[in-house]
Structure 1
Amino acid sequence: MNDVSAGVLAMTRRRHGEHVVVSLAGEVDVDNARRVRACLGEAVVETADGPRPRLVVDLSGLTFIDSTGLGVLVRQLAALRERDGSMALVAPDGQVLRRLRRTNLAPLFPIYDTLSQALA
């Protein structure tokens, strides 16, 4: 397990069976989007031993995500799809889910209320 904390963002990355789970807590904005991008990229490398990389990004601990952070998620999804991989989000009702819906990005991702649902 790897923990990275900087300012108002905490990131945790761990394996769960065939999935790699990245949990984000705090705020994702233009100031830390590069660190989120790097963490997600490293998580995809961890999934490389399987035929299809599977990533779950747990956003339930986020209190804020800006358009830069949303862009990081979309670019990561595109990169995974190029490798026949998948990416699911955990985003219970709240600011992050509302932002995904308002920007019409929600239909791009499978979105779950809980991590256990995403991993099932």
Structure 2
Amino acid sequence: MDELQMTRRHYGELVVVSLAGEVDADNVSKVRKCLEEAVETHGPRLVVDLSRLTFIDTTGLGMLVRQLATLQDRDGTMALVAPDGQVLRRLRRTNLAPLFPIYDTLSQALD
């Protein structure tokens, strides 16, 4: 198992949370807390960079959907960076991909 790493950066009105490793039932609460703190600190415009994520299970996907709904209730936005790979395939297979703006690179998401 790849240990989860999370980093947070601020770009103007956007906050970017980058995840590396694996998100699963064992650590999804840490990810949720990190995303919530990022939004509380920097505002409701969030980009979650999943480009270095090697695995995400259904609890992780559900947490992303709930975070999106929370942001939309606050007139916020949430985009994902998910280049072609396991994470993007899982988003597509579960029909969750249409819910999010999804970019191949962080620079595209920041434009």
Aligned equivalent of 2:22, options 16, 27, 36: 27
Task: After TM superposition, give the deviation of residue 58 of structure 1 in Å.
Answer: 0.1
CA distance in 2, matches of 1:89, 1:74: 11
Question: TM-score of the superposition, structure 1-length normalised?
Answer: 0.90
Q: Counterpart in 2 of 1:18?
A: 13
Question: How well do the aligned residues superpose, as a CA RMSD in angstroms?
Answer: 0.8
Q: Which amino acid in the other structure matches residue 38 of structure 1? A: K
Q: Which amino acid in the other structure matches residue 30 of structure 1? A: A
Question: TM-score of the superposition, structure 2-length normalised?
Answer: 0.97
Instruction: Give CA-to-partner distance per residue, 1:35-67, whole Å, 9 cap, x none.
Output: 00000000111223xxxx200000000000000
CA distance in 1, matches of 2:71, 2:38: 11
Q: Which amino acid in the other structure matches residue 43 of structure 1? A: A
Task: After TM superposition, give the deviation of residue 88 of structure 1 in Å.
Answer: 0.2
Aligned equivalent of 2:78, options 87, 91, 106: 87
Q: Confirm or deny that 1:43 pairs with 2:38.
A: yes
Q: Which amino acid in the other structure matches residue 37 of structure 1? A: R
Give the conservation status (yes or no) of the 8 Å contact 1:20–1:46. Answer: no
Q: Runs of 5+ in structure 1 lacking a partner?
A: 1-6
Q: Runs of 5+ in structure 2 lacking a partner?
A: none
CA distance in 2, matches of 1:43, 1:82: 16
Aligned length: 110
Aligned equivalent of 1:59, options 50, 53, 56: 50
